[in-house]
Amino acid sequence: MTSYGHAAEDSAFVRTYTLTRGRTKPRHLLALETVLEAGPGKPGPAQAEECELILALCRERRRSVVELAGRLGRPVTAVKILVSDLLDADALTVPLTHPYADTGAASGPSTQLLAALSAGLKRKWPNAVAYPQAG
């Protein structure tokens, strides 16, 4: 590799280091699939320009951590650190939705879903002993 290639790698590393202000771990536990949306708060004045890009993307629609990293072309760990900062500033939120909100079911899964699950489990383990309290 040429010395130019090393210089490019070094500058990318230094940029990421300055982007996160030397931090290597986010304050919040974030999975790759954690979904985020814009919140009511605003990022601090010393935030990186990537924070504004993250907010702009999340204002368009909800985005996952991994999607934000891909859109920004930054390492996932660096994006998690920036997202943590934005969560602390209440500029981003993790929306909490009821798992059955989109299905119209108010109290849980449908009986068809439970019957299909039961049939699948019986096929997988035909010799399983029924548990009396399970119903």
pLDDT digits (tens, 9 = 90+) for 43-62: 877 777 889 999 999 999 99
Does the model's pTM come out above 0.75? no
Tally of structural domains, the chain: 2
pLDDT at res. 76? 92
Range of the domain at 105: 101-134
Q: Which helix (H) or strand (E) holds 36?
A: strand 35-38
Q: What is the mean pLDDT of residues 97-114?
A: 64
Whether 114 and 74 share a structural domain: no
Whether 108 and 43 share a structural domain: no
Q: What is the mean pLDDT of residues 103-112?
A: 66
Question: Per-residue confidence at 104, pLDDT binned at 50, 70, 90?
Answer: low
pLDDT at res. 42? 87
pLDDT at res. 23? 81
Number of H helices, E strands in the chain: 5, 3
Whether 41 and 58 share a structural domain: yes
Whether 113 and 55 share a structural domain: no
**CA distance linking residue 17 with residue 23, whole number of Å:** 7
Whether 58 and 117 share a structural domain: no
**CA distance linking residue 52 with residue 88, whole number of Å:** 15
**CA distance linking residue 58 with residue 129, whole number of Å:** 48
